[in-house]
Amino acid sequence: MKTITVNGRSYAWPQAPTVVVCIDGSEPDYIEIAVAGGAMPFMARMLDNGANLRAQCVVPSFTNPNNLSIVTGRPPLVHGISGNYFLNPETGEEVMMNDPALLRAPTLFPAFQEAGASIVIVTAKDKLRRLLGHGLRFGQGGAICFSSEKAEQATLVENGIEGVTALVGMDVPSVYSAELSEFVFAVGCKLMESRRPDLMYLSTTDYVQHKHAPGSAGANAFYAMMDGYLAQLDEKGAVLCLTADHGMNAKHNASGTPDVIFLQDVLDDWLGEGATRVILPITDPYVVHHGALGSFATAYLPDSTDAQEIADRLSGLEGIEYAAPKAAACARFELPEDRMGDLVVVSTVHKVIGTRPELHDLSGLEVPLRSHGGVSEQTVPLLCNRPVDTAGRSLRNFDAFDLALNAAQPSTLVQPDP
């Protein structure tokens, strides 16, 4: 049987259309409570008959590093995408990590395409599109890769498809809506019907999870919507594997205001104004979600500063879960040292790290802050619509394609005794 090896991992050739879904910000409670309350009837059956597992995501528990880990099968140390945002040491500029030039490893898609597989990738937000589609051949008979956000602009040459809104019968939804993710599933189902690709990757946005707690009406409605589309994919004979890029937790105090440690203020106070530079890798253009407040930060220190001493002082502050010099933190979290500051700082479950109060625009926050980024958002679901044998393995979310292709295919199923 044909196998494809990418980044040192081998994948069996799909025998049925194989769909991996990254549900952005899907803390395990969302699905568990929705299933228990009857909002996800397909999922309830799927978990009974398939695999209901948990996995650890990449820290920083942010969107870009985890999506790239899922599609490369490796941690950021290998693929290089260490945040949504970073300080480029070559230019000294703070930039978004959405440029394929920053990728240090191929995704598994080009190797599959090379071997003859048809590929469909749909992401809610455009910030991920170029990274996910890097190295693919588009045009007639090529791969399909586009975002809901920019679906209207999709062309055959750049995205392998055009006329997406007509195909799906939906207008392009607002970037701040549940419908942006619904669009991903709706188009996924349409393309499963019309193209029946060998591999499909669907990646949603966490707009709903940033606003609505597990079990709330807003969350359950979102998961019920998803359930209907997943049932359709299952019905069409797809192998399904679902995971999340990160979890999500409430990050506010009793009065509903964000519970923030302003790290730049702390370091200015200790080492002098302008001596250090705090970078928040959660930063992205979609600030309405979170005001750039998450549970992970990195800081650049003056050469003369003892990073261990500062880390020790920070560790003593209430609300700091972890602070360490770069080398130790990058070893623990498998991150590229050249894309991290001298210090890595992680806050506790209900706290976030900011720079200075005046640098965070919180005007878009309509509800008490929910966010992610830390170790506290590391546990995510890993679910398949077929049983898989994972005995003795400690699973990561970036094992999703491994499970889907190597463990959940029809022929890898253990036949029950008659």
Q: Whose CA is closest to 293, among 361, 230, 228, 233?
A: 361
Count of positions (residues) in the chain = 418
Q: Nearer Cβ to Zn ion, position 23 or 310?
A: 23
Q: Nearer Cβ to Zn ion, position 27 or 206?
A: 206
To Zn ion, the closest distance from the beta carbon of 293 in angstroms equals 14
- Where in 132-161 is the site for Zn ion (CB under 5 A)? none
Encode burial over 298-325: b for 16+ CB neighbours within 10 A, e otherwise: bbbbeeebebeebbeebeeeeebebbbb
- Where in 211-270 is the site for Zn ion (CB under 5 A)? 245
Q: Give the residue at shortest CB distance from Zn ion.
A: 63
Q: Nearer Cβ to Zn ion, position 276 or 371?
A: 371
To Zn ion, the closest distance from the beta carbon of 376 in angstroms equals 15
Q: Nearer Cβ to Zn ion, position 179 or 206?
A: 206
Q: How many residues bind Zn ion (CB under 5 A)?
A: 4
Q: Is 63 in the site for Zn ion (CB under 5 A)?
A: yes
Q: Nearer Cβ to Zn ion, position 149 or 245?
A: 245
Q: Nearer Cβ to Zn ion, position 212 or 386?
A: 212
- Where in 191-220 is the site for Zn ion (CB under 5 A)? 206
Q: Is 377 in the site for Zn ion (CB under 5 A)?
A: no
Q: In which residue are the tokens 């979170």 written?
A: 290
Please identify, among the stretches 62-70, 134-142, 335-343, 395-403, the one whose residues bind Zn ion according to the rule CB under 5 A.
Answer: 62-70
Q: What element of type H or E holds 35?
A: helix 28-36
Torsion of CA 395, 397, 400, 401, to 10 degrees: -110
To Zn ion, the closest distance from the beta carbon of 283 in angstroms equals 13
Q: Nearer Cβ to Zn ion, position 63 or 305?
A: 63
Distance in angstroms (rounded) separating the CA atoms of residues 345 and 263: 9
- Where in 16-55 is the site for Zn ion (CB under 5 A)? 24
Q: In which residue are the tokens 């290998």 written?
A: 78
To Zn ion, the closest distance from the beta carbon of 160 in angstroms equals 25
Q: Whose CA is closest to 315, among 292, 286, 344?
A: 344
Please identify, among the stretches 58-66, 124-132, 211-219, 285-293, the one whose residues bind Zn ion according to the rule CB under 5 A.
Answer: 58-66
Q: Whose CA is closest to 245, among 288, 202, 291?
A: 202
Beta bridge partners of 85: 96
Whole-angstrom distance between the N-terminal and C-terminal Cα of the chain?
A: 27
CA 372 vs CA 58, 122, 345: distances in Å: 12, 23, 13
Distance in angstroms (rounded) separating the CA atoms of residues 79 and 70: 11
Please report, as ranges, the residues that interact with Zn ion according to CB under 5 A: 24, 63, 206, 245
